[in-house]
Amino acid sequence: MKEIEDYQGKKALVIGFGISGLNAAHLLVKLGAQVTANDMKTPKDPRVVADLKADGITVITGSNPLSLADQGFDVVVKNPGIPYDNPLVAKFVEKKTPIITEAELGWEIFDGHLVSVTGSNGKTTTTTLTQLMLAKSSTHTVKYAGNIGVSFSKVAEELGPDDTLVTELSSFQLLGAPTIHPHIAIITNIFSNHLDYHKTRENYINAKLNITRNQTKDDFLIMNWDRDEWQEIARRSQATIVPFSRQDKSHEGSYEENGDIYWRGERIMAAKDIRLIGPQNVENALAAIAAAKLSGVANEDIVSVLTTFSGVRHRLQYVLDYKGRRFYNDSKSTDIEATEVALQGFKQPVILLAGGLDRGYTFERLVPYFKKHVKAIIVFGQCKDKMKDAAEQAGISTILESENAITAVPAAWKVSEPGDVILLSPANASWDQFPSFEVRGDRFIEAVEKLTGRKENN
């Protein structure tokens, strides 16, 4: 951990008691700040508030009092998911009070080697693959953190100058990380996500580009090269661009050609030997390979990871087989693009479980994928009628409604046959029925275990 004095004697407000917010509050105390912590809800576990107060932190729960904006705070550390038009946050925006996220704090105290990953889809898998590849060949510690469920600043506290941290960063985190400067940055892809938060696609793109804002020609931006727009976006960076391409559009970085994976002309392995299924995971592997090769990782270590790693929880996670049916948990598919690529990963008939929070869009884009891959669909959540409309357009003969992703499991079983895949890939956020996609996925797995009498494949 780097010793800094930036917060010594400063008044800091932390808004949001998530994992990152709680760690940020305690870290700011260590850095010499006078800290107030605020959350709209009162934690169910009284130890959360007790631990904060024991560290000398002023705690305010149950609301976001607008009066906090008049208490002379020098900095605000907000939960990334809280939008900037939140009434309290908007007050600080108006006052031009610096507003950062915990990722910025993590970067400020970190003095090792930073690799950062962002993108609309594939972030978690790419982050995990990169960390595994780097750790396999390094004599120093290599960890991951960030949007992957591990606090950036907490891990940064534990690492030294010779260690490496691979961080998954969301657009929300990057908006509040103005000085972050990874030596290697990865953008897996950019679609049109979170427009309810960012308002416009350009705002969303700009948020993603914050990952490379402070990079120079001595740094590297690894970018998906398979769309012309993404190539143009990459050229807005000052970093040295390293492309990766599943469609063989560049040989300047990592790419797939005739079923084989290459790095700048050097064959590494056959794409079919990657254990993770689906074309999207070839892309994730290519991005991780680029970061690994730039970091000096040997081919045999890369191949070892890609032929053994079976997947990230909730991202096309294989759960178990039962009576000829194979269950997959893809609860992290919270947008249309993620479900598109999930469906493309299967040659078997798919019984799809889909639905969730209604963000105002429809699902016509899924129609061709439904036609090609889906034999039956179970819909649920706020947007179930819209999902049902797309299924009807695709000519799916078996369309059922269910209350949620849990009750959909026995319904899917009843219409399944040996050889089928039963896939939870909702194409929507979980917040209409579950607090997070992780909870949705865990509950799905529990329902599968209850149905089959077996435990998930670990």
CA 123, 126, 129, 134 torsion-angle sign = negative
Half-sphere exposure of residue 120: CA atoms within 13 angstroms, side-chain side: 22
Average the pLDDT over 65-84 and give the result.
Answer: 96
- Identify the residue with better confidence: 456 or 114: 114
Give the pLDDT confidence score for residue 195 in this predicted structure: 80
| Whole-number Cα distances in Å, 271 to 258, 286, 318, 352 | 9, 10, 19, 26
CATH of domain 317-452: 3.90.190.20
What values do phi and psi take at 352, rounded to 5?
A: -100, 135
Q: Which of 25, 335, 390, 88 is nearest to 190 (CA)?
A: 335
- Structure confidence at residue 458 (pLDDT): 64
Which CATH superfamily, name and number, covers 11-100?
NAD(P)-binding Rossmann-like Domain (3.40.50.720)
Whether residue 119 has pLDDT greater than 70? yes
* CATH class of the region 103-308: alpha beta
Residue 120 known to bind ligand: yes
E strands along 31-95, which residues? 34-39, 58-61, 75-78
124 is an annotated ligand-binding site residue: yes
414 a known binding residue? no
Q: Where in the chain is the domain with CATH 3.40.50.720?
A: 11-100
**Joined tokens for residue 158:** 């534990």
pLDDT band at 192 (very low <50, low <70, confident <90, very high): confident
Confidence of residue 326 (pLDDT cuts 50, 70, 90): very high
Encode pLDDT of 25-74 as tens digits.
999 999 999 999 999 999 989 999 999 999 999 999 999 999 999 999 99
Q: Is the pLDDT of residue 194 over 90?
A: no
Task: Please tell me whether 296 is known to bind a ligand.
Answer: no
Q: Is 311 annotated as a binding residue?
A: no
Q: Where are the beta strands (DSSP E) in 299-420?
A: 317-322, 325-329, 350-355, 374-380, 398-401
Give the pLDDT score at 292: 98
What burial class does residue 110 get, using C-beta atoms within 10 Å of its C-beta: 0-12 exposed, 13-18 middle, 19+ buried? Answer: buried
Say if residue 122 carries a ligand binding annotation. Answer: yes
Per residue in 335-379, pLDDT tens?
A: 998 899 899 989 999 999 999 999 889 999 999 999 999 999 999
265: left (phi over 0), alpha (psi -120 to 50) or beta: left
Q: How far apart are CA 66 and CA 61, in angstroms?
A: 13
Task: Give the residue range(s) of CATH 3.90.190.20 domains in the chain.
Answer: 317-452
Mean pLDDT of 154-183: 97
Domain span(s) for CATH 3.40.1190.10 in the chain: 103-308
Averaged pLDDT, 96-122: 97
- Residues 6 or more apart in contact with residue 172 via CB below 8 angstroms: 80, 81, 101, 194, 197, 207
203 annotated ligand-binding residue: no
Q: Examine the pLDDT at 162 and tell me if it is beyond 80.
A: yes
